[in-house]
Amino acid sequence: MIRMKHFGRFLGRLFLLVVLGTMLGAYSADAWAESSEAEKARVVFEKAKAAYDEARAQADFDKARAKAEFEAARAKAKFEAAKKALEDLGKPAPADEKKPLGKDKISDKDGKPEAKPAGESIDGKALLGKDAPLSPELKVEELSGPVAKIRIEGGIFLGTADYLRDAIGRAEQEGFVCLLVELDTPGGALDETQEMVKAMLSAEVPVVVFVAPKGAQAASAGTFITMAGHVAAMAPGTRIGAAHVVMMSMIPSGVGGGDESAEEKRKRGDQQAIMNEKVTNDTVAFIQSIAKERGRNATWAEKAVRESVSITADEALDEDVIDLVAENEGDLLEQLDGRVVQLSKKRAVRLKTNGAEIRRFEKSLKQRLLGGLAHPNLLFILFLLGLGGIAMEFYHPGMIVPGAVGAICLLLALISMQLLPVSWGGLLLVLAGLGLIIGEVYVTSYGLLGAGGAILMLLGGIMIIDPASQPHYMDPNLKVDWSVLIPTVLVLVGSFMFVGYMVVRNQRKKIRTGAEGMEGELGRVRSEVTPEGGRIFVRGEIWSARCEEGSIPEGGQVEVLKLEEGLILRVKVKNKDKD
């Protein structure tokens, strides 16, 4: 019976093991099947993605080819229209003595590029300098008188759009022939650029954008502004383009980004690529709308945004990006004379600018202040002066002037931070560096804290301006100059070290006031001094005094040991060896 019982237990355990093995096998089979299905799905997905990318590339190619064919047909239609108009006037056709040069351009017999012809009357119609006849119902007004002028130089930041809007409004109200905008900019803020373009597209006075003087640029935001003008001109040696949006990553990584898996990184990268593509496409649509509104080369405008291409003045004229190339303002006014500019569907003006007076519109006090503060070098200097002045007032209360000056500088620096793309990491480094420099004054570190603070401030100055901290049409080289960064840090470090030295030296000096200030003072006996009392003359005053033993005769020299209660000085005879 016992053997049968053990045999039964053995069979039960064996059955249990078989069941468990079967379950594990089934689970393993399911897992393997799922992994196989996942692998198949991944392969199918990769193939579909490759097919999609290939189809998209083919679609982009077809779209680009269609656009090129459309632009070629459009250019040909313009040329034929201009040719017919000149034949109607009895003038030689362009084919007789001139040849096509680029898009909508003409050259003389020597092949030298010429500016587009100014407006001419053709059977009641007029040309805008874009070789396109105007509609019959369009009214052309003759405009003569002075020319208004403003100059936009440096970054496009807060206040620039107000300056342009005010100038356009004043030119409209005071009846100027046109507004001449002399431009030289590396780029600027997205919102300010859009506001300026809106004002120019809706202006009721011709806006002429002139990229000058020689060596100037209309980069990034300047490309949009130049193409938005009714007339776009450039001086020889200038350049335009590189209008790609500079922006930071919009999809932040989660906490503990170092533990982020490869899949999460890939997803975040895909999301960032989608956001960048959305912003780029919106910017392309923006600049293409400007180009089409002004009848300029929309294809090149798209390249300026997508590929950051940049071209010279002569190339811009050939590419139909601008209308004129002028040596100076006088040459520009001569070429503008007689040109017809369409301001609306039913209104156009013929400019009479040859020899016209140029009146410059100055910025208001607010606009000059904002323009001055929108500079990285000034921001860095104001920020350090503000922090240094407040720190000095905090550690040495009652000085007043450093605290007041520091507060003003810090407020101005905060305004400047609203105008410029500021990196908070750079600001924190500057604060940490200043803290270490202040700590050097109170902690004996043999210069280690001061050196560390100077290094942190230099790093903070390098990083404090970040063109990619928000969407900007900006030159990525915008930064604090080394010629300002290093001297400013050295001066600030030296100032705090000097203040610290003066504080320590004053702390080691003998106290000159109060009871402790009387100790060690020398005086003359006016009446005999005994342990019971007497009088001495010290610090220009007569004091009651006593000595510990003996007596000191009148006329003797004594040294003050201590000021006791009752304003009585305890003295002793001055040691003659110390005389």
Residue 250 is predicted with a pLDDT of: 39
In whole angstroms, what is the distance from residue 272 CA to residue 347 CA? Answer: 46
* % of the chain exceeding 90 in pLDDT: 25
Q: Residue 106 — φ and ψ, nearest 5°?
A: -130, 160
Tell whether omega for the bond before 213 is within 30 degrees of 0, i.e. cis. Answer: yes
Residue 468 is predicted with a pLDDT of: 57
pLDDT surpassing 80 at residue 276: no
Q: What pTM value is reported for the model? A: 0.58
For 257, which DSSP code? G
pLDDT surpassing 60 at residue 127: no
Q: Which of 219-228, 240-249, 250-259, 390-399 has the lowest mean pLDDT?
A: 250-259
3-state secondary structure of 564: strand
Residue 498 is predicted with a pLDDT of: 77
182 beta partners: 151, 210
Query: Under CATH, which number does the domain 101-247+275-364 receive?
Result: 3.90.226.10
Averaged pLDDT, 171-189: 92
In whole angstroms, what is the distance from residue 268 CA to residue 270 CA? Answer: 5
In whole angstroms, what is the distance from residue 5 CA to residue 12 CA? Answer: 11
pLDDT band at 288 (very low <50, low <70, confident <90, very high): very high
Length of the chain as a residue count: 579
pLDDT surpassing 70 at residue 184: yes
Burial label, 109 (beta-carbon count in 10 A; 0-12, 13-18, 19+): exposed
Query: Under CATH, which number does the domain 514-578 receive?
Result: 2.40.50.140
pLDDT surpassing 80 at residue 140: yes
Residue 256 is predicted with a pLDDT of: 43
Residue 66 is predicted with a pLDDT of: 67
* % of the chain exceeding 70 in pLDDT: 66
Q: CA-CA distances (angstroms) from residue 157 to 368, 373, 416?
A: 12, 10, 10
pLDDT surpassing 80 at residue 474: no
Residue 292 is predicted with a pLDDT of: 92
User: Where are the domains positioned within the chain?
Assistant: 26-97, 101-247+275-364, 375-508, 514-578
Q: CA-CA distances (angstroms) from residue 368 to 48, 240, 474, 502?
A: 58, 26, 21, 40
Residue 476 is predicted with a pLDDT of: 55
- Strand ranges (E), 200-308: 207-211, 217-219, 231-234, 239-241
79-126 residue pLDDT tens = 776 666 666 555 454 444 433 333 334 444 344 444 444 443 333 333
- The average confidence (pLDDT) of the chain is 77
Sign of CA dihedral 539, 540, 546, 552: positive
Q: CA 228, 234, 240: angle at the middle one, nearest 5?
A: 70
Averaged pLDDT, 364-389: 84
Residue 427 is predicted with a pLDDT of: 86
Residue 173 is predicted with a pLDDT of: 93
Which residue shows structure tokens 């040309």? 127
More confident: 199 or 191: 199
Averaged pLDDT, 433-439: 81
Averaged pLDDT, 54-73: 69
232-244 residue pLDDT tens = 999 999 999 988 8
pLDDT band at 505 (very low <50, low <70, confident <90, very high): confident
In whole angstroms, what is the distance from residue 311 CA to residue 49 CA? Answer: 37
Task: Please give the full DSSP string across 389-437, using - where no structure is assigned.
Answer: HHHHHHHSTT--HHHHHHHHHHHHHHHHHHHS-B-HHHHHHHHHHHHHH
In whole angstroms, what is the distance from residue 155 CA to residue 467 CA? Answer: 11
Averaged pLDDT, 572-576: 75
Q: CA-CA distances (angstroms) from residue 486 to 333, 372, 439, 459, 492?
A: 46, 21, 21, 11, 10
